[in-house]
Amino acid sequence: MQELLAELARGLVKDPANVSVSVDAPDEDGVSVYHLHVSQDDMGRVIGKQGKIAKSIRTIMKATALRNGQKIQVEID
């Protein structure tokens, strides 16, 4: 899951070397939080106009997680 999120972000940014993903341990509800870190210059590319790209990334990740029986949340830092 981490690698999928990283690859999605690397395809969008100008500086793919600065893309990293960290994961928090699941909380009491079983939800794991994935933190996507990109350079400040690439934030607009990852978020998109009115947050449409960020919403699409979250949708893809949640659909993949459901297939694997997981619950996740994606935060863009």
Q: What is the pTM of this model?
A: 0.90
Q: What pLDDT, in 10s, does the model give residues 27-48?
A: 999 999 999 999 999 999 999 9
Q: What pLDDT, in 10s, does the model give residues 43-72?
A: 999 999 999 999 999 999 999 999 999 999
Please tell me the total count of domains within the chain.
1
Structural domain including 57 reads 2-76
Lookup result for tokens 């500086």: 15
The CATH number given to whatever domain includes residue 25 is 3.30.300.20
Nearest CA among 76, 72, 77 for reference residue 24:
72
Long-range contacts of 8-13 (CB under 8 A, 24+ apart): 8/57, 8/60, 8/61, 9/36, 9/38, 9/46, 9/57, 12/42, 12/45, 12/46, 12/53, 13/38, 13/39, 13/42, 13/45, 13/46
